[in-house]
């Protein structure tokens, strides 16, 4: 039951993303003016264009009807602000005071590509189902603490397209904890599309459609995997570390200077890391962590292709990409543990495509203290890609 005291004052009055002690870090919580959604054009009087007003009206009606039919207590639509992030469009349905307060507390959140549930659904064009978003770490669902106060639990997120283009990411919330079930997801997905189609026809709006399992958006490509310097280092990297000559190590060191991972590493430590570096090739879907000791003093650098940090929020649930590592980007087990937290999140890093090449860098015992100190700036920079750590 809900505490009566919460009904006697504005809910979340003191909970704002920039100031809340545990919600201050994600970049989607940044302060300042919310970017304007793509295509949203102001008109005389401060309103929106007729096109966007029509979209908002149609989507609001669809959210209300789907939520009522499927017993969801809250639904929201987020729209792209260019290619930078998703923002709250104001299109929402709330069944009660607490759901409405969750919406108000969410308005300043922004979701860059792949960040949080909306950002992942946006860029993968795939639905996500989480049995209890209030129990997830903020890296997986940035508003988990607000959801806990609002008593929102299960969440179903879907990409919405119109004429082949994504126009919104829609999230439905339930008061109940609902474990992932493929048949249930398919049933609600089909029902939501049927009802959306009826609403569009009734209101004269161009047909929109929820989609699933679309092609993931192409990610940026670095230069590490295509350079002549890498080609000259491959022969050395394909040798066992003990068999590498001085010239071999020098070729690897020359290649390492192209990698951001090494920018804080001094020469003695750099030579040790390069002498022991291994070049590994993976098939699509193959786990990167496969050698003994991968969890301690081992870092990985994507040389060619892409690796995805896949998470599963409940035992029977699907895997979703929490973080994407493009060429030249770096990851390690301790860094991944900071992202996933300890709330029962199961994670692994897998190759996103065939012939993905990853460098495995192992730190020898004599350099571990020095390496830990030297790579702290790197760790902070990696985390800053996901979190805004400023006070």
Q: Comparing 53-62, 292-301, 368-377, which segment has the lowest mean pLDDT? A: 368-377
Tokens found for residue 171: 């999230």
Helix residue spans in the chain (DSSP H): 4-7, 50-70, 97-106, 116-124, 144-150, 182-203, 228-237, 246-256, 267-276, 333-340, 368-374, 376-384
**How many helices (H) and strands (E) would you count in the chain?**
12, 14
CB atoms within 10 A of CB 245: 10
Q: What pLDDT shows up at residue 340?
A: 66
pLDDT at residue 390 above 50?
no
> Residue 195: pLDDT band by 50, 70, 90 thresholds?
very high
Q: Which residue has the higher pLDDT, 65 or 236?
A: 65
Say which residues have a Cβ less than 8 Å from residue 356's Cβ, sequence separation at least 6: 281, 282, 283, 284, 302, 304, 305, 306, 307
Task: Decide if 70 contacts 95 (C-beta within 8 A).
Answer: no
Partners of 74 in beta bridges: 94, 173
> Could you tell me the pLDDT band of residue 32, with boundaries at 50, 70 and 90?
very low
Using 50, 70 and 90 to split pLDDT, how confident is the model at 321? confident
Q: How confident is the model at residue 226 (pLDDT cuts 50, 70, 90)?
A: low
pLDDT at 8: 33
């Amino acid at each position: 039951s809900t505490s009566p005291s919460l009904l006697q004052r504005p809910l979340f009055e003191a909970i704002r993303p920039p100031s809340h002690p545990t919600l201050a870090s994600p970049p989607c919580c940044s302060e300042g003016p919310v970017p304007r959604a793509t295509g949203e054009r102001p008109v005389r009087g401060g309103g929106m264009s007729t096109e966007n007003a029509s979209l908002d009206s149609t989507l609001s009606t669809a959210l209300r009807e789907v939520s009522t039919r499927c017993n969801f207590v809250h639904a929201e639509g987020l729209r792209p602000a260019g290619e930078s992030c998703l923002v709250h469009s104001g299109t929402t349905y709330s069944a009660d005071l607490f759901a409405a307060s969750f919406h108000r507390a969410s308005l300043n959140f922004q979701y860059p590509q792949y960040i949080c549930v909306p950002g992942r659904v946006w860029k993968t064009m795939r639905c996500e189902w989480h049995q209890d978003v209030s129990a997830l770490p903020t890296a997986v669902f940035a508003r988990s603490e607000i959801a806990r106060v609002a008593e929102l639990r299960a969440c179903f997120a879907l990409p919405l397209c119109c004429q082949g283009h994504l126009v919104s990411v829609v999230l439905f919330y339930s008061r109940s904890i609902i474990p992932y079930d493929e048949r249930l997801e398919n049933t609600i997905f089909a029902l939501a599309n049927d009802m959306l189609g009826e609403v569009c026809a009734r209101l004269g709006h161009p047909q929109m459609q929820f989609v699933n399992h679309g092609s993931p958006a192409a990610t940026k490509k670095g230069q590490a995997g295509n350079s002549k310097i890498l080609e000259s280092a491959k022969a050395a990297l394909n040798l066992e570390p003990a068999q590498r000559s001085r010239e071999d190590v020098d070729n690897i060191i020359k290649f390492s200077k192209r990698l951001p991972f090494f920018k804080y590493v001094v020469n003695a430590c750099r030579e040790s890391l390069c002498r022991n570096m291994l070049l590994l090739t993976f098939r699509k879907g193959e786990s990167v962590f496969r050698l003994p000791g991968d969890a301690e003093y081992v870092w990985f650098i994507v040389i060619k292709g892409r690796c995805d940090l896949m998470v599963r929020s409940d035992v029977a649930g699907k895997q979703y990409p929490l973080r994407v590592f493009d060429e030249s980007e770096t990851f390690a087990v301790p860094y991944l543990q900071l992202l996933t937290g300890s709330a029962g999140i199961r994670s692994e890093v897998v190759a996103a495509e065939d012939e993905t090449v990853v460098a495995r860098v192992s730190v020898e015992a004599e350099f571990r203290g020095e390496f830990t100190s030297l790579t702290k700036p790197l760790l902070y920079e990696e985390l800053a890609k996901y979190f805004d750590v400023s006070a």
